Amino acid sequence: MNDDARDDITEEDFLKAVSALSSEEPAFSPLAAAILAALHFGIAKDSRTFSRKFDIAHALVLREVSALADDLALLVVTARNQKNQRTEFAPAEKALQLFARALK
Amino acid sequence: MGKPEFIGKKSKAAGGWGALKSCGKKLLASGSPLSGAVTMLKANQPDGFDCPGCAWGDPEHGSSFEFCENGVKAVAWESTDKRVKPDFFKKHTVSELRTWTDYDLEREGRLTHPLRYDAATDRYVEAGWDEAFGEIAGVLNSLDSPDRAEFYTSGRASNEAAYIYQLFVRLYGTNNFPDCSNMCHEASGVALEQAVGIGKGTVLLEDFEKADAIFVIGQNPGTNHPRMLGDLRRAALRGARIAVFNPVREKGLERFADPQDKLEMITGGSTPIASEYFQVRVGGDMAAVRGMAKAVFAADDAALAAGRPSVLDRKFLAQHTDGFEAYRAAVDATTWEQIEDQSGLSRAQIEELAQIYIGANRAICTWAMGVTQHRHSVATIREIANFLFLRGNIGRPGTGLCPVRGHSNVQGDRTVGINEKPPAAFLDALENEFGVPMPRRHGHNVLAAIGAMLDGSSQAFIALGGNFARATPDSPLIAKALMNQKLTVNIATKLNHSHLLPGKVSYILPCLGRTEIDRNADGAAQIVTVEDSMSMVHGSGGINKPASPELRSEVAIIAGIAEATVGSKVVDWKSLAHHYDRIRDLIARTIPGFEDYNQRVRRPRGFRLPNGAAERIWNTPTQKANFASPALPEQTEHQQAVAQKGTFVLQTFRSHDQYNTTVYGLDDRYRGVYGERRVVFVNPADLEEIGAEAGDRVDIIGRYEDGIERVAESFRVVPYELPRGSVAGYYPELNVLVPLSSAGELSDTPTSKSVLVSFRLSEQAQAA
């Protein structure tokens, strides 16, 4: 994963990554896979940015982030803004391994 | 799998928002496969998030909490990282905690474990869930009659929690359902049931897009329903006239800066809301509305005399209403002198308002506690309905009655059976479904429950949420009533003052908040459903990890108490708690309007419950919309106050950092008060009569003549734009002055907006 957003990612690349992550972990919802893909490509490292960039209700994103962090241990929540619930996250080791397998 | 269609140009991922949004739409597109391996999608279900704040409608259900200031406060308050663990009570006795404010108590954070009160040490100690359910059941089953227990409901409870709560309580054998709506919109329910055959409003959000005139009566949406301001703002921007009746000059109703309008926020701009703002006297709304009706009749007479068309909707009046002639006679018998004295408005002002009404093809009236918490609240709401009937302003787009409810599901709780006077048809349906008799005796509302607890005839009090001791009038009496109980149980997310008034056996049972993901034993996330002020029912799923693994949902807690108390022979409580769809199926089978509940609630925005009056179907005894023709009150409290030197009429209200009894902070920014709550707002011209100067500390003394001394000590005087003779301050601090025995006629709603008081300088001020 890059720290900065890559400027050569197309929509097609992104959807392929979502598809690959979903294939690797069938339990994922497409939204969960998209959150991971967006994190991997440096597109969004927090729930609110993802919500805005992808025009998906923040509540739905938060719910998926919670599942990815608490249930699947793929994300580590690093900060939460109490006012707007913006939740910042980073990939856990398990996610890095997943990225290595699915997005090589 | 089909190759994903490429839309648009190659984009820089961090900046190509348009393309990313199209990705988002693809991700949420219903059902179409993205990869062939995974079906789209778990996340396309509209199990959005319902803000635990107010009950205003939500056009884009799912994310409103991001934009409404109060919604943000509610969510942040619940999702705090702070915790009240059992160790907390090792440091603090209950007696000590009683000296804390509710703000300080709730700020300690979320409750994490079931707690049982230990009288020997005056502390709460950790308890087990089964132990709690067993002991609660033991006490309930030891009472000599089920009518000796009171089952309170807060408007936060979901439809699912409320439904199985009422089912449990009725199987236990009583209709004792005091609930928070008894203290707020009960008068609306009573009046509208009489007038139009349904105790709910008739408007949809879309009606605000079509109305030409909106009359906002006794309501402060800037603080209490901020999202409503967005609808009023849009109406104002397209030229609708918005007439406000409020004794208090509320800044939020005058101008509104929409947080979603970035330019407005950046430039500090705002949009005028009220085109007309009238500071009606406290309790004078009925007179003001009658005055408008009188002016409308005069305009109609003049039009007919001049050979012009009637300004009334004569066809609607003839086809759809009953009692019009009697109402006309009552209006004719009401003098302008009475109207002006009671409303505090001049005839010219009222005639100006009437012209706004006559000039509007579509009109809406909204109202809230400023109307409902008086002795004559039911009569006032009937008058509002009368007023709308005159020009057929109900049951067509852009028109209607709009009582704006407070807590997010207070309307839904009543719909699914939290009702001390349940309709026979509902009880029949329950009996038909469950095959056992339901109690038919009417139960207790809030005031009756308090009376029964005080005189010892009720001996157990169970609260599904809320802060009963703070929400109710005559706070010291309520404390006594609760501590007299054999059993008190509070199902709660955070510690509050009501928990510190334990009965002989007392439990605090910590529950999930609406922000938290509610998983059943199989790990499946559950949704709950709520009904907003527009009768829209929609789903809500949590967004956060629960504050503690020990927490249970309200549904699971009620199911546990129910199973221990009444057994599972009639109802399989565990099964219902395991999957809330099963509760919704029961609701669908026993309450009209919920057919296909589980399917329809998962559609975007959910569904609307049937509302006959909105379609001009009148489920009243006359099968018509009914006019009411009472005279104005002989004397309002304001009139009584001005007749007695040194007496004022007090209204209690919320600060901006407050939602019902939950205090999020100590500021009230629209009114310019920061860092304190013990303030009383007075008209500057009344300072001399009060005998105080701005900033002085005063004691406020209740003047209700029932032999009980009521004093609220040491409140700072804040000059404010109120009518002379009126004063105002925050509840719950001022509930000590609201008499339990003063209630609305027919509604039993506490008269929290019209309390007679006098003042004295506090000892502190005298010493200075």
Distance CA B266, CA B479 (A): 48
From chain A, pick out residues whose CB is under 8 angstroms from the CB of B82: none
Contacts of A82 in chain B (CB under 8 A): 76, 79-80
User: In terms of CA atoms, which chain A residue is nearest residue B516?
Assistant: A63
- Give the integer Cα–Cα distance in Å for B638 and B179: 29
Other beta carbons within 10 angstroms of residue B128's beta carbon come to: 12
pLDDT at residue number B32? 35
Tokens for B414, please give them: 């009543």
Residue B14 at interface with chain A, using a CB cutoff of 8 Å: yes
Give backbone dihedrals phi and psi of B268, rounded to 5 degrees, phi first. Answer: 75, 20
Interchain CB contact of B4 with A (< 8 Å): yes
Answer for the pair B347, B339: CB distance below 8 angstroms, yes or no: yes
Instruction: Report the alpha-carbon distance of residue B333 to residue A80 in Å, rounded.
Output: 63
Q: What is the DSSP letter of B489?
A: E
d(CA B397, CA B403): 17
Please tell me the least confidently modeled range out of B215-229, B322-336, B382-396. Answer: B215-229
3-state secondary structure (DSSP) of residue B381: helix
User: Distance (Å, rounded) from C-alpha B25 to C-alpha B372?
Assistant: 45
Task: Verify whether the Cβ–Cβ distance B13 to A41 is below 8 Å.
Answer: yes
CB < 8 Å to B14, chain A = 4-5, 7, 42-43
The answer to whether the CB atoms of A56 and B26 lie below 8 A apart is no
A72 close contact with B: CB closer than 8 A: no
Identify which of B17, B19, B34 has the shortest CB distance to residue A18: B34
Q: Which residues contact residue B63 at a Cβ distance below 8 angstroms, ignoring those fewer than 6 apart?
A: A51, A57, A58, A59, B48, B49
Q: Tokens 């190659």 appear where?
A: B10
Q: Which of B11, B42, B60 lies nearest to residue A10, judging by beta carbons?
A: B11
The C-alpha atoms of residue B377 and residue B360 are separated, in whole angstroms, by 26
Nearest-CA distance A96 → chain B (Å): 20
Q: Which helix (H) or strand (E) holds A80?
A: strand A75-80
pLDDT category at A4 given cuts 50, 70, 90 is: low
- Pick the residue with more confidence: B233 or B609? B609
B76·A43 Cβ contact <8 A: no
| pLDDT at residue B408 is higher than 80 | no
B646 CB neighbour count, 10 Å cutoff: 14
For residues B80 and B571, the model is more confident at: B571
Task: Write the pLDDT tens digit of every residue in B630-642.
Answer: 999 999 999 999 9
- B32 touches A: beta carbon within 8 Å: no
Element (H, E) at B117: strand B115-118
The secondary element (H helix, E strand) that includes residue B264 is: helix B262-267
Q: What CA–CA distances, in Å, run from B351 to B292, B330, B357, B359, B722?
A: 6, 18, 10, 12, 22
* Contact between residue B131 and residue B524 where contact means Cβ atoms under 8 Å apart: no
Q: Are B276 and B243 in contact (CB under 8 A)?
A: yes
Nearest by CB to B62, which of A57, A66, A67?
A: A57
Q: Is residue A7 less than 8 Å (CB to CB) from chain B?
A: yes
Hey, are the CB atoms on B38 and A28 less than 8 Å from each other?
yes
Alpha-carbon gap: A76 to the closest alpha carbon of chain B (Å): 13
Q: Per residue in B160-172, pLDDT tens?
A: 999 999 999 999 9
Q: Which residues of B touch A84 (CB under 8 A)?
A: 66, 72
**Amino acid identity for residue B121 in this structure:** T
Distance from CA of A47 to the nearest CA of B (A): 11
Choose among B14, B35, B544: nearest Cβ to A43: B14
Residue of A22, A48, A62 with shortest CB distance to B38: A22
Order of strands, edge to edge, in the sheet holding B460-464? B123-126, B115-118, B505-510, B487-492, B460-464, B149-153
CA B562/CA B143 separation, integer angstroms: 16
Question: Which among B759, B654, B665 has a CA at the least distance from the CA of B713?
Answer: B759
d(CA B756, CA B762): 18
Q: Which residues in chain B have their CB less than 8 angstroms from residue A83's CB? A: 72, 76
CA dihedral of residues B683, B689, B690, B695 (deg, nearest 10): 60
Class of residue B568 by CB neighbours under 10 A (exposed 0-12, middle 13-18, buried 19+): middle
pLDDT at residue B583 in the model? 98
In 3D space, the residue among B186, B147, B154 whose CA is nearest the CA of residue B169 turns out to be B147
Predicted local confidence at residue B60, as pLDDT: 57
Tell which wins on pLDDT, A93 or A83: A93
Does A23 contact B14 at a Cβ distance shorter than 8 Å? no
Does position B62 have pLDDT exceeding 50, yes or no? no
Question: Average pLDDT in the B7-19 region?
Answer: 39
The side-by-side arrangement of strands in the sheet containing B363-367 is B276-278, B241-245, B213-217, B363-367, B400-403
Smallest CA-to-CA distance from B370 within B281, B445, B446 is with B281
| Inter-chain contacts counted by CB atoms under 8 A, chains A and B | 151
Report the pLDDT averaged over residues B23-33. Answer: 49
Sequence-distant (≥ 6) Cβ neighbours of residue B763 within 8 angstroms: none
Mutate to test the interface with A, among B5, B17, B42, B512 (most CBs of A within 10 A): B42
**In terms of CA atoms, which chain A residue is nearest residue B523?**
A71
Global pTM reads 0.88
Residue B408: partners with Cβ closer than 8 Å, 6 or more residues away: B50, B51, B52, B53, B54, B55, B155, B156, B514, B530, B532
Expressed in angstroms, the distance from the first to the final Cα of chain A is 11
> Is residue B254 within 8 Å of residue B242, measured between CB atoms?
no
Structure tokens at B68: 């409404």
Nearest to A21 by CA among A31, A12, A11: A31
E strands, B134-285, are 149-153, 213-217, 241-245, 255-256, 271-272, 276-278
* pLDDT of B265 above 90: no
Cβ distance A56 to B542 less than 8 Å, yes or no, reads no
Tell me the mean pLDDT in the region B100-118: 96
For residue A95, give how far its alpha carbon lies from the nearest alpha carbon of chain B (Å): 19
Q: Which chain A residue's Cα is nearest to B77?
A: A82
The whole-angstrom distance between A78's CA and the closest CA on chain B is 13
Query: What stretches of B624-762 show up as alpha helix (H) in DSSP?
Result: 637-643, 687-690
Count of CA atoms in the C-beta half-sphere (13 A) of B458: 30
A78-82, B1-5, B560-564, B719-723: the lowest-pLDDT one? B1-5
Within 8 A by CB and 6+ apart from B123, the residues are B89, B90, B92, B93, B94, B117
Lowest mean pLDDT: which of B61-70, B213-222, B735-744?
B61-70
Q: Is the ipTM of this complex over 0.85?
A: no
**Which positions ≥6 away from B298 have C-beta within 8 Å?**
none
Partner residue facing B35 (CB), from A19, A48, A70: A19
Flag whether residue B75 sits within 8 Å of chain A, measured between CB atoms: yes
pLDDT tens digits, one per residue of B696-712: 999 999 999 888 999 99
The more confidently predicted of residues B606 and B91 is B91
- pLDDT 10s digits, B534-559: 899 988 888 888 999 999 999 999 99
Inspect the interface and report whether the beta carbons of A51 and B4 lie closer than 8 Å: no
Using CA coordinates, name the residue in chain A closest to B35: A19
The answer to whether B48 faces chain A, any CB pair under 8 Å, is yes
Q: Choose among A53, A58, A70: nearest Cβ to B66.
A: A58
State chain A's maximal CA–CA distance in angstroms: 38
Q: Which helix (H) or strand (E) holds A101?
A: helix A93-102
Give the helix ranges, DSSP H, for B43-172. Answer: 69-78, 86-91, 94-97, 102-107, 129-142, 159-172
d(CA B335, CA B632): 10
User: Could you tell me the two tokens for B257?
Assistant: 């800066």
pLDDT, residue B417, reads 97
Provide DSSP, B505-560.
Answer: EEEEEEB--TTB-EE-TT--EE-EEEE-TTSEEEEE---B--S-TT-B-HHHHHHH
- In this structure, are residues B610 and B592 in contact, taking their beta carbons and an 8 Å threshold? yes
Distance of CA B698 to the CA centre of its chain: 31
Rounded-to-integer distance, Cα B739 and Cα B704, Å: 7
Question: Nearest CA to CA, how far is A25 from chain B (Å)?
Answer: 10
Q: Which of A7, A22, A52 sits opposite B37 (nearest CB)?
A: A22
Give mean pLDDT, residues B551-575. 98
Is A58 an interface residue toward B (CB < 8 Å)? Answer: yes
Residues of B in contact with A10 (CB under 8 A): 6, 10-11
* Distance (Å, whole) CA B326 – CA B348: 25
Smallest Cα distance from B495 to chain A, Å: 20
Partners of B8 on chain A (C-beta within 8 Å) are: 11
Alpha-carbon span B137 to B562, nearest angstrom:
8
